[in-house]
Structure 1
Amino acid sequence: MKYSLLNRGDDLSRQLSDTFHKLAADSGMIKDEECPDTIVSIGGDGTMLHAFHSHLHVLDQVSFVGVHTGHLGFYADWKANELDELVRRMSSPTSEMKIVRYPIAEIELVSKAGTETFYALNEFTMRGDDGKTLVAKININRESFEMFRGDGICISTPSGSTAYNKSLQGALIHPSIEALQIAEIASINNRVYRTLGSSMILPNHHLCDIIPREDQKLQLSADHLNIQRDDVLSIRCKVSPLKVNFARYRPFPFWNRVRAAFIGDQSE
C-alpha cells in the first residue's frame, strides 16, 4: 500500500499526520507522494477538496480516505481517535475495502482567450462581481430556457448537494445518481423579470449553458478555488465522465451522514 497525506495545517492535524506516518511505517505501508494508491486527508471537508484538486491529473488512479479532526464530515469516515484502526485496515491484505465512486462536475469556460476546463467535487458558482446583479441566459440542452437576473447561480454535484446548495433550498441527492443540480442565488422575480424560482436536477446526458451579459465582471468558484473574470463568453456545465474514488474500509451510508450532520441523535 502506497499512500500520500494532506493535512489542514493546524496543530491537531499535524500531530495526527505524524502519528499516521509512524503507524503506517510500522505496518509496512510506503509513503509515496509521486505515485500513491491512496490519498489520506486529515482535517475537514475543505482539506478533502484541496486533496481532490491536487490530484486531478491522476483522479482515475487514486482513492481518497478522510480523517476528520472535528465532527464527522461528509468526506471523512474516520475520527481522530481511530487512526490505529484505520491503518490496521489499510495495511491488512484481507481488509474488505470497497471503492465508492462519486460523480463530479465538469465546467467548460469559453472566453476570448480560448477554452478552459475546471472540475468541482462540491459545486461551481457564478456571481456578479462586487455584488452587482448577474445577468445571464440559461440554455438547457442547447435550447433557451430563461434569462436569469439575481445574485448568482450554483451548480452542485450530488455529494455537494449537502453543502451550499442546501442553504439555497436545493434537494439532497444521493451520490449514486449521476446528476447536477442548478440552484438560483437570490433571483429577481417580478412582473418584468421571471425565472423558474426553484432548483433543477439534470441527468448526466444533459447540458447547462450559462451565457453572461457581454463584458460582465464575474466572480467564479470551483469548490474553494475563486476566479475573477470579465472575458467569459459562455460556461457549459455537465456531469464529468471522470469520477472520484473513495476507499471505504467500513460502511457509512450517505443518508446516515446526512442524519448525523443535520439531525443528530434523536433517540429518547
Structure 2
Amino acid sequence: MKIAIFANKRAKSQAVKKKLYQKFVERHFVIDDKEPDVVVTIGGDGTLLSAFHHYEDKLEQVRFVGVHTGHLGFYTDWRDDEIDDLVISLQSDNRQSVSYPLLEVSVKYADSPRRERYLALNESTLKRNSATMVTDVYIGGELFERFRGDGLCVSTPTGSTAYNKSLGGAVVHPNLEVLQIAEIGSINNRVFRTLSSPMIVAPNDWITFRPGKGSDFVLTVDSESYHNRQICEIQYKVSKRRIYFAKYRHTHFWRRVQDAFIGTEDENRMDL
C-alpha cells in the first residue's frame, strides 16, 4: 500500500506526522506523495479540505483518512493518540470505503470562450465587494428569482454543517445527493422580494446564477477565492465524481453532528 501524509504546519501536527512516518517505515509501507492509495491527513477539517484539492485529479484512486490534533471534525475519525490503532487498521486493509457527493462549479467568464470548472467538497459562494449583489437565480433552467443582498451560498450535504449552517441552512445527511442554496443578507421589502429561506434542490436539477455586470464579484470554492473577472454565469450541479474515505472506523454522520454542536448526554445533563 502506498501512503501519503498530509499535515498542517502546527507543531503538534508535525510531531504526529513524524511519529506516523516512522511507524509506516517500520511496517514496510511505501511512502508516496505523488501516487498514493491512501492519504492520511493530520490536523482538522481544513487540512483535509486542502488535501482534497491537492489530490483532486486522483479522487478515483485515493481514499482519505483523517487524524485530528484538535477538536473532532466532520472528516477526521482518529485522534492523535490512536495512531498505533490506525496503522494496524491500514495493515489489515480490505479496501472498503464510504463516499460523499461533491459540487461541480462551472463558470463562464466574459474574457474567455471556455468555461472553467471547479470542484467543492463543502460549498461555493458568490459575493460582491463594493455594492449590493444583484443576481438572477435559475433552478433547472427556469428563472426563480432576482436576488439582492450580500451573496449566495451553494453547499453539498457534508458542507451543510459548515458555512451553510451559520446562514440558517438545514443540516442534510450525505446519503441525500442534493444541493442547498442559502441566502447571505438578502434585501426584502415592498419593492424587492426573495424566497428568504434555504432551498434543497434535487440532484437532477441544476442551479444557475447570472449576476449583473461588474468585475468586483468574488467566487469562492471551499477555501479558494476567485475575483477581478467579470462573471457571466455560474452553474452548480451534483458532480459525477465523489470523495472516498477509508472505512476503518467511520463515525456515523448524526453522531458527528451531535459531537460537534450538542455534546454528549453526560455533558448536557442538568440537575433537576
Tell whether the structures are fold-level matches, with TM greater than 0.5.
Answer: yes
Kindly report which structure 2 residues correspond to 1:252-263, keeping only aligned pairs within 5 A, or say none: 252-263=251-262
Q: Which residue of 2 aligns with 1:136?
A: 135
Q: CA deviation at 1:220?
A: 1.2
Q: Percent identity?
A: 43
Counterpart AA for 1:238? K
**TM-score (normalizing by structure 1):** 0.96
> SS of the counterpart of 2:240?
strand
1:111 pairs, out of 109, 112, 117, with: 109
1:150 corresponding residue in structure 2 = 149
For residues 97 and 262 of structure 1, do their structure 2 counterparts lie closer, same or farther at Cα, with a shift above 3 Å needed? farther
Q: What's the CA shift string for 1:51-105, capped at 9, x where partnerless?
A: 000111111110101001101100000011011100111112xx46630110010
- Conserved? CA contact 2:215–2:227, under 8 Å: no
Q: Superposition pairs for residues 204-215 of structure 1, below 5 Å? A: 204-215=203-214
Quick check: 1:180–1:202 contact (8 Å CA) kept in 2? yes
Structure 2 unaligned residues grouped into runs of 5+: none
Q: How do 1:242-261 residues align onto structure 2 when only pairs under 5 Å count?
A: 242-261=241-260
Secondary structure of the equivalent of 1:201?
Answer: strand
Letter in 2 for 1:117: R
Give the partner amino acid of 1:158.
P
Count, aligned residues: 265
Spell out, residue by residue over 1:91-125, the C-alpha distance to the aligned partner (whole angstroms, 9 max, x if none). Answer: 12xx4663011001000000121310011100001
- Is the 8 Å Cα contact of residues 134 and 150 (structure 1) preserved in structure 2? yes
| Structure 1 equivalent of residue 54 of structure 2 | 54
Look up the equivalent residue of 1:15 and give its one-letter code. Answer: A
- The residue that corresponds to 1:20 in the other structure is 20
Please tell me whether the aligned partners of residues 28 and 91 of structure 1 are also in contact (alpha carbons under 8 angstroms): no
Moved more, 19-28 or 157-166: 19-28
Q: Distance in 2 between matches of 1:226 and 1:199?
A: 23
Alignment deviations for residues 161-204 of structure 1 (CA, whole Å, 9 cap, x no partner):
00000011100011111111000001000000000000111121
For structure 1, the 5+ residue unaligned runs are none
The Cα RMSD (Å) is: 1.1
Distance 2:118 2:55 in 1: 13
1:216 deviates by 4.5
SS at match of 1:144: strand
Query: What TM-score, normalized by structure 2, do the two folds share?
Result: 0.95
Please say if 1:98 is aligned against 2:96.
yes
Q: Distance in 2 between matches of 1:195 and 1:52?
A: 34
Q: Quick one: distance in 1 between partners of 2:178 and 2:68?
A: 27
Q: Which amino acid aligns with 1:151?
A: D
Q: Verify the 8 A CA contact 2:135 2:147 in the aligned structure 1.
A: yes
Residue type of the alignment partner of 1:198: S
**Which residue of the partner structure matches residue 29 of structure 2?**
29
- 2:192 alignment partner in structure 1: 193
* Equivalence for 2:71: 71
Distance apart, 1:40 and its partner CA: 0.8
Q: CA deviation at 1:17?
A: 0.4
Q: Which amino acid aligns with 2:103?
A: A
Question: Is 1:161 equivalent to 2:143 in the alignment?
Answer: no
Correspondence for 1:181: 180
Q: What letter is aligned with 1:52? A: F
Q: Deviations over 1:116-169 (max 9, x none)?
A: 001110000110124x21110001111110000000000000000000000111
Q: Which residues in structure 2 correspond to 1:75-86 (within 5 Å)? A: 75-86=75-86
Moved more, 246-255 or 115-124: 246-255
In structure 2, how many angstroms separate the alpha carbons of the residues matched to 1:254 and 1:23? Answer: 30
